[in-house]
Every structure is written in structure tokens, then in C-alpha cells.
Amino acid sequence: MFYFAYGSNLCRRHFSALCPAAGLVGPARLVGYRLVFRGFADIEPAPGECVPGGLWRVTPACRAALDRYEEVERGLYRPVDVDVELVPREEGEGRSPIAAFSYRMLEEGYRPPVPAYLSVIAGGYRDFGWDETLLDRAGLAKHRD
């Protein structure tokens, strides 16, 4: 199964500690959503926008660890099924959608993240080859270290 990461789980070091059996697939995009912050990273539907992220191949044990980490049982996040596009490595490479799961927060409203959390996400953007300035779309330029 595939997991689409868009927040702190983009950081390879962090994610490898959480899910050591996971395999990195590569950078991916979630089309039709945007990145927002409610203290923590979240995604919400937004036609015409896309969320940069990373795709991981995960085991059932990893899925269980992610559910615990994302506090699904407490109601912080809920798992959602998404279709993502892998970023082509070469010109002309196909962009067939890949079925994956991700997480969305149950909370509404917007709050900026603490700088240390945002730095982890920025590091994840670097890990996956994304331009960190893409975080500015979420209105966060003033919150970064």
C-alpha cells in the first residue's frame, strides 16, 4: 500500500524512525487540494491547486504506527484515500494516478505551526527535491526559521 506524506512525514529521517520498513517511492503531487496549517499540517480540497509531497510504500504495521502517530483514535486526524501523481523523472514519463492513503485533520480553522515543526517540513521538502518556497503558498514565509 502507498502513503502520501505532505507534512512532517516528508522528513526522511523522521519517517524512517517511525516506519523503518517503509520504502521511498519518490516525490508526488496531490491535485485538487492545498496545504493549510491548523497548528499542524493539513490538506483541504481546493480545485486548481496541488500539494507537493512524497510517496512511501508502507506495510500494515507501518499503517498502524501512522494511525497512532496521527492520533486517529483521539480524533486529531482521519485517514483518507487519495489519488496522487508521481513526479516524472524524465520528460514524457506518464502521470497515471496512484491510489494511496493520507490523513486529514478533523479540526477546522487556521493556525500557524511552531517554527521547529515548520523546519522539519522544510527539511522534508528538501529531502524530496521540492522548492521550500512552495510553503509560502500556505502563508508561512514569516513563520520559517
For position 21, which CATH number holds?
A: 3.10.490.10
pLDDT, average across residues 82-98: 79
Of 88 and 131, the one with more pLDDT: 131
Would you say residue 145 lies in a domain? no
Q: Given the residues 44, 49, 70, 93, select the one marked as catalytic.
A: 70
Which structural domain, as residue segments, surrounds residue 107? 2-138
Q: In this structure, what C-alpha cell is assigned to residue 13?
A: 529521517
Distance in angstroms (rounded) separating the CA atoms of residues 108 and 18: 26
Determine, yes or no, domain membership for 127. Answer: yes
pLDDT of 141 > 50? The answer is: no
Q: Is residue 143 one of the residues assigned to a domain?
A: no
90 within a domain of the structure (yes/no) = yes
Cell of 75: 480524533
The model's pLDDT over 31-77, given as tens digits with 9 standing for 90+, comes to: 999 999 999 999 999 999 999 999 999 999 999 999 999 999 999 99
Extended beta strands in the chain, E state = 2-5, 23-37, 41-57, 77-86, 97-105
Question: Would you call 70 a catalytic residue per the annotation?
Answer: yes
Q: How many domains does the chain have?
A: 1
